[in-house]
Amino acid sequence: MTLLKNRLVIALLSAALGAVGWLVAENLIPERKDLQEPLPHRLAAADPQFARSMAALFGSSVLPGNRLETLVNGNAIFPAMLQALRGATQTITFETYIYWRGDIADQFAEVLAQKAREGVSVKVLLDWVGSIPMEEMLVERMQTSGVEVVRFRPVSWRSIDKVNNRTHRKLVVVDGRIGFTGGVGIGDEWNGDARTRAEWRDTHYRVEGPVVAEFQAAFAEHWLEATGELLMGDRFFPAIAAAGDSAAQVVASSTNQRSVMHLMLMSALSAAKTKIRLGTPYFVPDETTRRQLLAARARGVEIDILMPGELTDARLVRRASRHFWGELLEAGIRIHEFEPTMYHCKLVVVDEAWASVGSTNIDDRALRLNDEVNLNAFDPAFAREQIAVFENDLKRARPYTLAQWQARSLWDKLSDWLASLLRSQI
């Protein structure tokens, strides 16, 4: 009888461990994408049908009447964000992956706490993983003042099926009328003007106009999941008049439709006629993305890709990325490595007609695992502004050549290959 009981216990334990292993594997292995082949070039980015198709396919309308302001580096970004927060009279909604420590983190905590003391509804949603380095005293200061601070998807047995699906969104909405998005996290690494390796290079965007309601809707989706509270009414969704001349769209990926960002990016790349510019801190393209870029190059599209060089916060990602550069370089795609500091911008510009900015990197984690938000601008003037910023960054970057790639040491080639095997998770 004892032997039978022991075997039963072992069988039950084995079944439990197997179930846990299955859950972990299902969560860690990215879902298969809907798109398995590169898209053909049917519509140009400047074609009105391209905007209508993007609106129909990716979940939100292309809304006219927006004002999009480009903020380059922390010296411009943080003062603009703090000024908008200080001007709040009704609501502040704030979602971010990274909220770390230091002077900038302290400044934001103090302003948010002050607005809550003034009676403003302040809701802060922090990714549980991304905010681990945050000083708990900052959370306590905000909560004591009335700020609602919530950690998104805390790791527990109940949430093991979503442990690898983080919010990487970076959103601030003030009074439902002023929005911010881009690449910046709340930490001193982003402060300054990218003059030294201690001052990261990044771009953020201040937005006014009807499209801000789409930012608020993206926040509300996650706030509902995290708290059970549905945000409604004029305080969060006021009537918004036109504020500028830009037509824009917000695309948000979420746990149940993570392939939306991948499909959106492939659609945009397929629309290029003359030029594609990609700026990303983490470039580990899957096969479909590589083939989409190669197809564009084959029809004569010039392609420049800008990413960090030696000064990166993710050396493993750089190695995994480099493993795939050979066929791109052979096709004439130009790769540039930013030299002065960590390059953290997220930018896609197609021709001089369309640009996408926000939180999304070009890797499996962003395109298949994380929840992201991007702002798509169907505005040649905005696209040209981003091109000018991109070209200015290229002046501070070093081209990486096919000869360099071929001349890598045997150790570098092996290390790059091994790192590439982890590309679905890094």
Q: Is 351 a catalytic residue?
A: yes
Radius of gyration for the chain, computed over Cα atoms and rounded to the nearest angstrom:
22
- Give Cα separations from 355 to 277, 279, 368 (angstroms): 9, 11, 21
Bridge partners (DSSP) of residue 152 are: 127
The whole-angstrom separation of Cα 371 and Cα 170 is 10
Of 226, 184, 235, the C-alpha closest to 206 is 184
What sign does the dihedral 133-134-136-139 (CA atoms) show?
negative
Q: Is 412 a catalytic residue?
A: no
Q: One of 115, 123, 170, 204 is an active-site residue; which one?
A: 170
Q: Is 175 a catalytic residue?
A: yes
Q: One of 168, 262, 273, 323 is an active-site residue; which one?
A: 168
Q: One of 346, 363, 393, 416 is an active-site residue; which one?
A: 346
Of 154, 357, 180, 370, the C-alpha closest to 265 is 357
- Give Cα separations from 175 to 89, 215, 302 (angstroms): 7, 12, 42
The whole-angstrom separation of Cα 261 and Cα 256 is 12
Q: One of 344, 364, 371, 416 is an active-site residue; which one?
A: 344
Question: Taking the CA of residue 157 as centre, how many other CA atoms within 13 Å lie in the half-sphere pointing to its CB?
Answer: 4
The whole-angstrom separation of Cα 76 and Cα 81 is 9
Q: Which two tokens stand for residue 80?
A: 């603009």
Q: Is 170 a catalytic residue?
A: yes
Q: Which two tokens stand for residue 16?
A: 């439990």
Q: One of 127, 175, 202, 304 is an active-site residue; which one?
A: 175
Q: Is 346 a catalytic residue?
A: yes
Q: One of 286, 351, 371, 379 is an active-site residue; which one?
A: 351
The whole-angstrom separation of Cα 254 and Cα 59 is 12
Q: Which two tokens stand for residue 384?
A: 């040209």
Q: Which residues are catalytic?
A: 168, 170, 175, 344, 346, 351
